Amino acid sequence: GPLSQRPLMEVRLGELHTWLSTCNFSPQRLLGAVQKAWSSYCAKYMHVRRGGPAGISMLLAGYCLLSYGWNYQHLKRHRWRKYH
């Protein structure tokens, strides 16, 4: 279909720029997009009959990565070598 109506997953890498320019970034739309993403994640990995550790473990892993990224400037000081 047309570029502006396609969801993010079906946009090719080269068209990403144009796709970003088409959608309007109002706070309500952003909030709606965040809500939709969260609910689809929940529906896919958490609200199932026989789930596994996958639902929470991915969230925790993402949290670990995010906190590593936030503290990167501080962790950079504990490098073992000066030149890589």
Partner 1 sequence: MLSRLVLRAAPAALRALPPPVAVGVLHTTRPLHTTQQSLAPVPPLPEKGGEVRHGLIPEEFFQFLYPKTGVTGPYMLGTGLLLYLLSKEIYVINHETAAAACILAVIVYGIKKFGADVAAFADKLNEEKVATALAMKNEAIQTLQTAIEEEKKEQWRAEGRNYLFDAKRNNIAMLLETNYRERLLMVYNEVKKRLDYQVAMQNLKRQKEQDYMIQWVEKNVVQSITPQQQKESIAKCILDLKALSKSAHAAV
18 binds partner 1 (CB under 8 A): no
CB distance 7 to 22 below 8 Å: no
Among the listed ranges 10-18, 19-27, 29-37, 76-84, the one in contact with partner 1 (CB under 8 A) is 76-84
Q: Which of 25, 27, 52, 73 binds partner 1 (CB under 8 A)?
A: 52
For residues 2 and 18, the answer to whether their CB atoms sit within 8 Å is: no
Rg of the chain, C-alpha, whole Å: 19
Q: Does the footprint of partner 1 cover residue 16 (CB under 8 A)?
A: no
Hey, what are 71's tokens? Answer: 């503290």
Of the candidates 58, 63, 66, 70, which one interacts with partner 1 according to CB under 8 A?
58
Is 75 a binder of partner 1 (CB under 8 A)?
Answer: yes
